Structure 1
Amino acid sequence: MPLKDYGVWKATPTSFTVERSDKDARSPHGYLKFKDGVSTKKLSSAINVKSISSDSRLVYWLIQDFKHPLTAKLKSLSFGFHRLSKDQRDIALDILRSGVVNVQDGSVVPHDLPGDKNDIVDFIQPFFDNAIKKQATVYIYGEQYSGKDGLHDVHMNQGSDGNFRSSNGIYQDGSAIVEYADGHWEAFFIAFASQTAQTDDKGQPKGPTLGKLLEKKSQPGGNDSLEDDIQEPNENIEAPSRPSNAAVAIAAAIVNPDGPDGGENLEVVHVVNNGPSLVSLKGWTIENKAGNSFAIPEATVLKVQGDKEGFNVKNTPLSNKGGTIILKNAEKQVVDRVTYTKDQASKSGSLVYFR
């Protein structure tokens, strides 16, 4: 039968931890602690970061500028848990029917891999870390625990086969949606790769699985790398995203830090070691399209695969109208180059991921 105590919890997130393979290789979870000013219990939510199906991968949609009529309904709620029925379609969530995502934009990822921005943990951890740091308001969709002290099933709850068919239903999907003080919203939607991209009116599976539908997009080399003569993007032209084949690459950046331009908060560029050996960044630079250059501190060493470091790129402004970030080695060779759009740069203080 469909979920019994389905609803949405409006709260303030206080901490988030997530299990890697060394903690739980079979069914790991992320654990979000929160408070709502109403309940006296210690509140938390368990979020699946791996499937126990034969295809253990997840599909996620990370939307850092979430705009949907749903946000007005959520904002009007009081803090605490609100039970919802599938008939409340203006606020009950259905990932396949509510128009909150373009299914084709989903990314298929495993639970835990060495390296940066290549598994679900690498995306969900900073999503919640930022919400906690900014003291944002979180709306968690899922099924309430019997003890009334939190939620689980914070993922798509339809299109499952086998032993999980009994939990299928429409307008009962889980998710995490965050409202920030500056007025912008972000959302993180999760599904299992084994769930189908279509369902019938009872939420039962139809058509191909999400994994089969989207896996080509997620294969390394599935998108072409940028050429050296790429033009500076502007306005909202879509910038290519790509998996970098470089041993060292640009993983993410804050191109529009909080506060006024030229203020105390500098732009930050995160560099990651994708290779198996340590890499000295002595003599390396980070540049923008205009040719301004930041010299990475000479003592910087990325020691192991997945090791990363963020740099405040002084005197190398990153345009809020879209731009290019270039990483060069000591021989002044281009090691990696990424682009971002004006739309991506419009969200103050947010990380732009390059994957």
Structure 2
Amino acid sequence: MPINNYGVWRARPVMYKFEHDADNHISTHLSLYFDDGQEQNEDHSSTNEYREHGCHETHPRGSTPIQIPGLKRATINIKSGEKQESTLVFWANRNFKDNPMVNGLAELHSGFNSLEDAKQMPGSLRLDFIRGNLFNVNSGRILPHDIEDPNNDKIDVLEPELKKAINEKAEIYVLGEKDKTGNFIHNVHMNQGNCGKWTSDDGIFQDGGLLIKYPKSGDWVGIFLWFAGQAVHTDHDGHAISSEHWADYLSSTSKRVDLIENSVSIDEASVEQDTYENRRRSVTLTNQTDHKISLSSWKIKNSADQVQKLPANAELKANATNVFDISNIDLSNIADTVTLVNEKGLKIDGVSYNSHPGKIQGQSVVFSH
């Protein structure tokens, strides 16, 4: 069954601790402590130094994460407990303000916000790594957990972002499963496409993640983690339906040439409008491969799950680009997602946009890959 008590915690980061292999060799975590403003009337004077000075150095090796009075904690996997594939993959989307869900996140109150009853659809407040178009698949990185030398493991890469968030008094939005005590949140990673005993956690629109909003610049950064052995394509229950795994896209030694996702890219979405009744909507698609691809029975979907089926004779020659009419679905000039799926319903590519000055004025959005 899916995970329980899924939601998002809005707060300000205070300090963190990385576990090293000496602490936990099996399933290693980052403990991120945060202040959600819900216990301001209680006496937690021992935590004032953390709040005021932003203590954010890693604790000594061998120390154990503890619960600090007045602070909540997110436990974030940085190494898998799976014996056959312990590697985690992570993506950092530094243009996350372009995603439609930031509009709703900014309206949430501080503290834990349950999303159990929220809509399960792209652009909603529930994360889905497959259906939400949160990042470009090929921009991810596979790194080991804890090895010598700088900038070569997850601790080296994640630590600067956490320090920056604390120093700049950023807001964080942690998505995952709140524990029964109400003191911490976990499962802050992909929660579908699992294998073995973890398939019982499978579900759609219940993935975890860490989103950071910087107050001065207005920038949003999305950090997403999942296990390299999890599936790229899942069914309506979140179970794997293909043999493609995230490691297949990013491994430099075993990169597959038959991968489905990103074989065709969405380069542009366009709305040409004279009046409400007279408007033409289209998408520009590019074949990224060196062979012809038939698009018969392929479909375009928007965030409202409206569907446009491409023509029966639609095709793209090798490395070719073409424009396809999608007059049967709407594209919002405020925020939307655009997803391309093949005849089997497997996602090929997905993009999202969120309106801000200079981005979209009812005409077109160009996407970079």
CA contact (8 A) 1:96 1:103 kept: no
Structure 1, residues 251-272: CA drift from partner, whole Å, max 9, x if none? Answer: xxxxxxxxxxxxxxxxxxxxxx
Does residue 51 of the first structure (1) align with residue 85 of the second (2)? Answer: no
Aligned CA RMSD, in angstroms, stands at: 1.7
Query: Structure 2 regions of 5+ residues with no counterpart?
Result: 43-69, 256-369
1:12 corresponds in structure 2 to 12
Does residue 29 of the first structure (1) align with residue 19 of the second (2)? Answer: no
TM-score computed with the length of structure 1 as normaliser: 0.59
Tell me the secondary structure at the aligned position of residue 4 of structure 2. Answer: coil
Q: CA deviation at 1:218?
A: 9.7
> Which one-letter code corresponds to 1:49 in the other structure?
I
> Which one-letter code corresponds to 2:71 in the other structure?
K
CA contact (8 A) 1:14 1:33 kept: yes
- Give the distance between the partners of 1:11 and 1:217, measured in 2 at CA: 40
1:212 corresponds in structure 2 to 248
- Give the distance between the partners of 2:93 and 2:109, measured in 1 at CA: 24
Query: Structure 1 regions of 5+ residues with no counterpart?
Result: 220-355
> Which one-letter code corresponds to 1:71 in the other structure?
V
Tell me the secondary structure at the aligned position of residue 95 of structure 1. Answer: coil
Structure 1, residues 196-242: CA drift from partner, whole Å, max 9, x if none? Answer: 111111111132111123212899xxxxxxxxxxxxxxxxxxxxxxx
1:113 corresponds in structure 2 to 147
- Give the distance between the partners of 1:148 and 1:94, measured in 2 at CA: 24
| CA 1:14–1:218: 2 relative to 1, 3 Å | farther
- Give the distance between the partners of 1:145 and 1:46, measured in 2 at CA: 11
Tell me the secondary structure at the aligned position of residue 126 of structure 1. Answer: helix
1:230 corresponds in structure 2 to none
- Give the distance between the partners of 1:3 and 1:153, measured in 2 at CA: 8
Does residue 122 of the first structure (1) align with residue 153 of the second (2)? Answer: no
Q: CA deviation at 1:88?
A: 4.3
- Give the distance between the partners of 1:110 and 1:158, measured in 2 at CA: 22
- Give the distance between the partners of 1:135 and 1:151, measured in 2 at CA: 21
CA contact (8 A) 1:28 1:49 kept: yes
- Give the distance between the partners of 2:252 and 2:111, measured in 1 at CA: 41
Structure 1, residues 172-210: CA drift from partner, whole Å, max 9, x if none? Answer: 000000111121111110010010111111111132111
CA contact (8 A) 1:103 1:197 kept: no
> Which one-letter code corresponds to 1:77 in the other structure?
L
CA contact (8 A) 1:47 1:154 kept: yes
> Which one-letter code corresponds to 2:238 in the other structure?
G
- Give the distance between the partners of 1:64 and 1:118, measured in 2 at CA: 20
2:213 corresponds in structure 1 to 179
Q: CA deviation at 1:22?
A: 2.0
- Give the distance between the partners of 2:226 and 2:134, measured in 1 at CA: 13
- Give the distance between the partners of 1:46 and 1:212, measured in 2 at CA: 27
Structure 1, residues 92-134: CA drift from partner, whole Å, max 9, x if none? Answer: 1101111111222221112112122221111111111110111
The share of aligned pairs that are identical, in percent, is 35
